Each structure stands twice: as C-alpha cells, then as structure tokens.
Amino acid sequence: MHGQQPAIVFYQDPTLSGLEYWVISFSLKTEQLSENAFHKMVVKLQKTYQQKLEASNHKHSYAVKSSQTKGITSLEPIPLEFFGLTKCSVEPQNFENTTNTSNSVFKKDQMEQFKQTLIDVCQHAICTESNFPVGALLWTNLGIFPGVNVEFDDWSLGLCAERTALISALSHGAQTFYGIFVHAIHGDLSTPCGACRQMLSEHMLFSKLYSLHKDYTWSEYFVHDLLPNAFYTDSLAKF
C-alpha cells in the first residue's frame, strides 16, 4: 500500500505453493528454516510488530489529547484539505488503468491521517446491541463523508457505516464517489457486508475500497470485484 518492498522470505517447506512466483516477482532472498527455528523466527517477528503497534497506538492517543489535534468530534462532512487532498484528477472508472501496486493513489502520511480519522469516527458508532463499532469515510467531489453503524433493538432496522456514509453524501448532493475507507475496531478483517456491497456497486462501481484491519494493515479492492455477477437497478426494463 505504501510502496514497501519485501526483501526476504523465510519458509519451512520447499514445496510451498506459490513460493517461486513471489521470489521471482519481488527478487526475494530465501532462507529455509527448520521447524523449531521457523517457530522462533515467527515469535520474534510477532513480538517486534506488537511493540511497533503499541508505540503507534500510544502516539495516536497522545495526538488526540494534544491541543493541536484536528480530532473528529462530529459526523459532519470533512473538507478534502483535511487530508491534503484536492479534487481527484482521475475519474473512478479510470482508476484500474492508472493505478497499480507500485503506484499508490495516496501518500503514506495521508494513509496515516485516514487511519487516525477512522479510529476517531468509530467512537461515534451506535452499537449497543453488538458492541461492534464500524467507521467509514466516503471520498466524494464535495468532501469526505463519515459514517458509522447505527443499531436498534430491532436489528433489521439497523444500518452499516458504509451505507450511512453513502446516504449522507447523496443527501448533500454528492455526484462523484472516488473511494471509501472502512474500519471495524474489533474485526480481524474490515470488509462490507452483502447489503453494503450491493449499495456501493449501485453508486460507485468503479471506485475503490480501502480496508483498515484490526492490526492496522490496509487492503485495497475495486468495488466491482466485491460482488461478482451482481444485478443492478439499471438492468431493469423501464417503460
């Protein structure tokens, strides 16, 4: 996501499926380890990563408390300038032809800003039934529209963060949707439910979804890949 380049792959089984592909694609060095050595390496890497994660969380907590922070205190639309953005120079339907894994749309500091804002937005979620807060940020021509999941005693009446963000943007008159950022604090992976995938496909088929996961890593998808062979409203015959 941030242009990081893997350098070495540690493996235990030389017949591991796909190993040769990754080695060739990224010009990786390889190191085969015994089962015991491999386990020790995994534990060491996990410990190192956990320390970095805790340091990042501490840094974020300090930033929120700082008087200089721009912390999100409401779900009002956020100006593009807050993230160092202006109007997107690439139309959503052209993203697939102009971006790839080595040419990110956003800079690393912008992704860090999106991460911190998503964490702030999640605090506004109304999820007393599930205790599963989710936040979303929808990037449009009018700015960034936050959304959270809103639940009621009758679960069938609740709405997900992606749909509240989309409804807010549509009600403000937004017409172009460049991408949506999603984070579920307690979810190992942050991806939209089926209903949200249908709604996003109807309104922003060629846009991108940026998922911030529990461990603060990102995944990036095209919306049209989330719901293969979908049925769209414009497929209906209208007389």
Indicate which residues carry an active-site annotation: 162
Q: Does the CA dihedral 30-12-40-5 come out positive or negative?
A: positive
* Phi, psi torsion values for 74, nearest 5 degrees: -150, 180
DSSP string, 71-125: ---S-S-B-GGGGT--S-SS-GGGHHHH-BTTB-SS-HHHHHHHHHHHHHHHTT-
Q: Rounded to an integer, what distance in angstroms lies between the CA atom of residue 149 and that of residue 129?
A: 11
Residue 165 in contact with residue 147, Cβ under 8 Å? yes
Q: Rounded to an integer, what distance in angstroms lies between the CA atom of residue 161 and that of residue 167?
A: 10
Residue 127 in contact with residue 149, Cβ under 8 Å? yes
Helix (H) or strand (E) holding 161: helix 161-171
C-alpha angle 226/181/77, rounded to 5°? 130
